[in-house]
Structure formats: structure tokens, C-alpha cells
């Protein structure tokens, strides 16, 4: 049974997702929230747009050689949000993530905007104290505060860093931020150089000490180039393409990804729906990748 007060499960489901938790190892939920968007809002329509266009995707991925039909995943619907105040939304995201963890579901969260990641991390570090973060984003998101809100999407990595015991974030291919944000990333060795078309050598190197660590992957879709994915609130030229995403996944698939989010899709900006299709394919890839480690390999190790 899915907790009714947490999720509104009237939305369509992602691809062939179940609505029942039984026998599932992956749980998806949406957060229809864009209260802190600094430029163009609309990310609150992201989760349902991903679900809607997902019907055009095949269940088989020739690259990962996996079929969604062999994986049990549940789409619990979108979070019931009764207050648009960002700290309340973040708290609700934490409650929902805790609920999934208790049910032994690997959480995959659909934004909404990037501020929601803090709520997921608050829940995850209770289970995985040595969690590290991998961020795909055009922006550093390391501001202390933005437009008077310390929970703005422009501050989300800063808010996560504050609570991560390991203080480790690998920020891949960030191309926009303040002078201070870039100095901070470089001083702390957390800016991973990555250029479109390359093979991700520097990312491999940065990732290699974390073989036995639980990893959370946060994907701000504006990491992709606006020519591929224009449906996002703060587009940034000079971004990445589908092959680049495959390079990143190829590196990550032998690591222990214990959760992920896909944020900042603003579907109404892109009338062609291509942005939503790209986001849906990212989610399909994640379902196939987080399941790769059989999930409980890590937990059984620490809980013994
Ligand atoms: Mn961004
Ligand atoms: Mn972001």
C-alpha cells in the first residue's frame, strides 16, 4: 500500500511502472514545485510531462542491454504539497524519501526545481553517513543565499555540502557561476573538467577512490546543451549531449548509486516535447543503472 497522505497518485505513471510497492526495488516520485525559480518557472509541470511522453520510449536499451520489463519499479505519484514555502517542501521530500528507504526502494525523484535535493540528502545520510554526491549541472549552485532565500535552487549544493559528513561533491562540467563559486570548487577539488565528446578520463580518476561509497547522482537537466534540451528555466549555452550522458553513466554503472534526481525540466518552454523525451530517457537509463549493483550490496555490508 502506498501512503496516501504523502503522494497524490492520480497522475499517469512512468512507462510500465507499477502502482504497488510489492516486489519493487526502485521507487519514483515527483515533486511538482518551482517556488524558488529565479528566471522562468514551470518546473512544477516536469514530472507529469516526463510520465506522459514516456509512452513513446521502448522498454529495451541497446546501449545498457537491459529491458525495463525485467525490473520492478513503482511510480508512487507526486508529492502532496500543501505549502509552497521552500523549507516545508524540502521537509516533505525528506519524509517521502524516508518512507521509500523504509520500504527498501532506491529513490528516483523527479523535479521540480533543484532546491528539493536537500530533502533527499537529509534522509539518505541517515542511512548512508558516508554518502558522496555527483552533480550534473550547468551551474555550481553553491551560493550562500539567492534573492533572499537560502533554499533557492541556486544554493542547493551549498545546502547539501553543509550536512554531508564526507563533504564530497563531484561537480561535472559546471560552466556557470560566480568567481567565488569557481574558486571554491577548484580549491576543494570538486570541479571535474569534462568537455563534450571526450571519454571522461578525469571523471574516472576523481571517482576511483569511492568504489565502496554510496553515491547520489543529482541531474539538473540544464547540464545538457539548450539545442538538445531547451525546456529548462535557466538555459546555458555550451552544454552536453546524449553521448556525453552515456559516457558518465558508463563510468558510474560499476559504482553503488543509492538514489538520484532529475530536476529543472520546464516542459512548457519546449513545445516540441523533445526536452521531456530526453528527461524520460534519462530516467529510463537510471532505472537500469541503479539496479545494476543489486542495491543491497552496500547496506548488507554496513548493517552486519
Ligand atoms: Mn542549473
Ligand atoms: Mn542546479
Report the SS3 class of residue 122: helix
Cβ burial, residue 71 (10 Å; 0-12/13-18/19+): middle
Looking at residue 301, what is its pLDDT? Answer: 43
Cα dihedral sign for 91, 269, 241, 185?
negative
Is 279 a residue whose pLDDT tops 50?
A: yes
Average confidence (pLDDT) over 14-36:
94
Length of the chain counted residue by residue: 304
- Residues contacting 38, CB < 8 A, separation 6+: 146, 147, 152, 153, 154, 233, 234
Cα(141) to ligand 2 centroid in Å equals 6
Cα(45) to ligand 2 centroid in Å equals 17
pTM for this prediction: 0.95
Cα(65) to ligand 2 centroid in Å equals 30
Cβ burial, residue 95 (10 Å; 0-12/13-18/19+): middle
Looking at residue 230, what is its pLDDT? Answer: 98
170 neighbors 207 (Cβ within 8 angstroms): yes
| DSSP for 41-66, written as a single string | --GGGHHHHHHHHGGGS-SEETTTTE
pLDDT tens for 133-168 read 999 999 999 999 999 999 999 999 999 999 999 999
Cα(225) to ligand 2 centroid in Å equals 14
Amino acid at each position: 500500500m502506498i501512503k496516501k497522505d504523502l503522494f497524490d497518485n492520480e497522475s499517469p505513471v512512468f512507462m510500465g511502472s507499477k502502482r504497488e510497492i510489492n516486489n519493487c526495488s526502485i521507487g519514483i516520485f515527483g515533486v511538482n514545485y518551482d517556488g524558488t525559480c529565479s528566471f522562468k518557472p514551470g518546473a512544477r509541470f516536469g514530472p507529469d510531462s516526463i510520465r506522459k511522453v514516456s509512452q513513446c520510449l521502448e522498454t529495451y536499451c541497446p546501449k545498457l542491454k537491459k529491458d525495463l520489463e525485467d525490473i520492478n519499479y513503482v511510480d508512487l505519484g507526486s508529492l502532496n504539497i500543501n505549502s509552497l514555502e521552500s523549507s516545508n517542501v524540502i521537509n516533505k521530500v525528506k519524509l517521502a524519501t524516508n518512507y521509500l528507504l523504509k520500504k527498501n526502494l532506491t529513490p528516483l525523484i523527479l523535479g521540480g526545481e533543484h532546491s528539493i535535493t536537500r530533502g533527499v540528502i537529509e534522509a539518505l545520510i541517515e542511512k548512508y553517513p558516508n554518502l558522496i554526491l555527483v552533480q550534473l549541472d550547468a551551474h555550481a549552485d553553491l551560493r550562500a543565499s539567492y534573492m533572499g532565500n537560502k533554499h533557492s535552487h541556486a544554493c542547493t549544493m551549498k545546502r547539501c555540502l553543509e550536512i554531508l559528513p564526507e563533504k564530497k561533491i563531484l561537480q561535472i562540467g559546471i560552466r556557470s557561476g560566480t568567481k567565488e563559486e569557481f574558486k571554491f570548487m577548484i580549491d576543494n577539488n570538486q570541479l571535474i573538467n569534462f568537455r563534450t565528446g571526450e571519454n571522461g578520463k578525469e571523471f574516472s580518476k576523481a571517482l576511483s577512490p569511492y568504489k565502496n561509497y554510496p553515491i547520489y547522482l543529482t541531474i539538473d537537466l540544464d547540464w545538457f546543451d539548450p539545442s538538445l534540451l531547451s525546456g529548462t528555466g535557466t538555459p546555458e549555452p555550451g552544454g552536453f549531449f546524449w553521448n556525453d550522458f552515456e559516457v558518465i553513466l558508463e563510468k558510474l554503472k560499476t559504482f553503488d548509486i543509492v538514489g538520484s534526481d532529475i530536476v529543472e525540466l520546464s516542459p512548457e518552454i519546449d513545445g516540441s516535447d523533445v526536452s521531456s523525451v530526453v528527461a524520460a530517457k534519462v530516467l529510463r537509463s537510471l532505472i537500469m543503472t541503479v539496479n545494476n549493483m543489486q542495491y543491497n550490496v552496500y547496506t548488507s555490508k554496513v548493517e552486519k
